[in-house]
Every structure is written in C-alpha cells, then in structure tokens.
Amino acid sequence: MSSVKANLPTCGGLSIAALSRWQRLSHDEAEARGVVARNFVGPSGVTGVHPALVVSPVAAKISPDWGSTPRPMWVIEGTETVSRRPPGARGPIQVYPAGTVLRVITLVDDATMRLGGHFGCGVVSR
C-alpha cells in the first residue's frame, strides 16, 4: 500500500501515519485552517498542513466515539512564540520565558471538522 505523503511530522504521544492513496477526505486544507482560525488555536506561524491517519492521546476526551482508532485528520504544524504574561493574570505557571518559540501541532478531524487537540512538541529557540 503506498502513501500519500511520507514526510509527516512527529510529536510525542501522537501516532501520525500517511493516508493510503485510495483514501479520500471530506474537506480540504482551507476548511481545516478555518476551523483553527475560528477557534483561536493553532500555530501562529504555519509550516505545514498534512492529511494523515492520527491516533491522539486525548481523542476519547474530545469525542468518546474517536477512541484509539486511527482517524483521518488534518495535521497543522507550526510555531508559537510565548508572550509575556499580563501583570496579575491567573492560571497555570508559565513554563517558558516570553520570547521562547515552540513547535506545535493542531489536529482537525476531517469527518466532523472539530478540533482534535493542540500539542506542544518542543522548543525551537529561546
């Protein structure tokens, strides 16, 4: 079975595999990017968008019927720069100093056009 694209991104905890050449998607890249933009998540600097079969470690929390079965998803990879936290802000401790560039992956389920997760995949630069 041949693959559509062999150069897929990797990120700890995610299983990302190429679609077979016979698999067809219901949506296109522009629609997947639109989901990310409307939900104010995803990389600020997109470096790649790939259709792939994905098993996400958080899939069952997002949609119980997703489980551990590989699903066709749009994998949107890129970078985010950590911004300075406003004075008096509440929330989790800021792990990285402002200005740190992180590699991130955001998933969009092709069948439902729902977010499938947003993952930090390491530091690009500090």
91: CATH? 3.10.450
From 4, 43, 50, 12, select the one nearest 28 (Cα to Cα): 50
In a domain, 109, yes or no: yes
- pLDDT, residue 25, reads 93
Report yes or no on whether pTM surpasses 0.85. Answer: no
Instruction: Please report, in tens digits, the pLDDT of each residue of the chain (126 residues total).
Output: 333 445 678 887 788 888 988 888 999 999 999 999 898 777 788 888 999 999 877 766 667 776 678 889 999 999 988 888 777 777 666 778 888 999 999 999 999 999 888 888 888 887
Q: Does a structural domain hold residue 10?
A: no
Q: State how far the Cα of 26 lies from the Cα of 44, in Å rounded to an integer.
A: 25
In terms of residue numbers, what domain contains 84? 15-125
Q: Is residue 51 part of a domain?
A: yes
pLDDT at 120: 86
Within a domain: 106:
yes
**CA distance linking residue 31 with residue 96, whole number of Å:** 32
* Residue bearing tokens 């590989």: 70
Is there a domain that residue 41 lies in? yes
**Residue 38 CB partners (closer than 8 Å, separation 6+):** none
- Res 107: pLDDT: 92
Report the DSSP beta bridge partners of residue 125: 101
pLDDT at 53: 92
pLDDT at 1: 33
Radius of gyration of the chain (CA): 15
Backbone angles phi, psi at 78, to 5 degrees: 175, -155
CB-count burial class (<10 Å; 0-12, 13-18, 19+) for 117:
buried
Q: What is the pLDDT of residue 98?
A: 85
Question: Is 32 within the bounds of a domain?
Answer: yes
The count of structural domains within the chain is 1
Query: Which segments of 70-122 does DSSP mark as H helices, in order?
Result: none
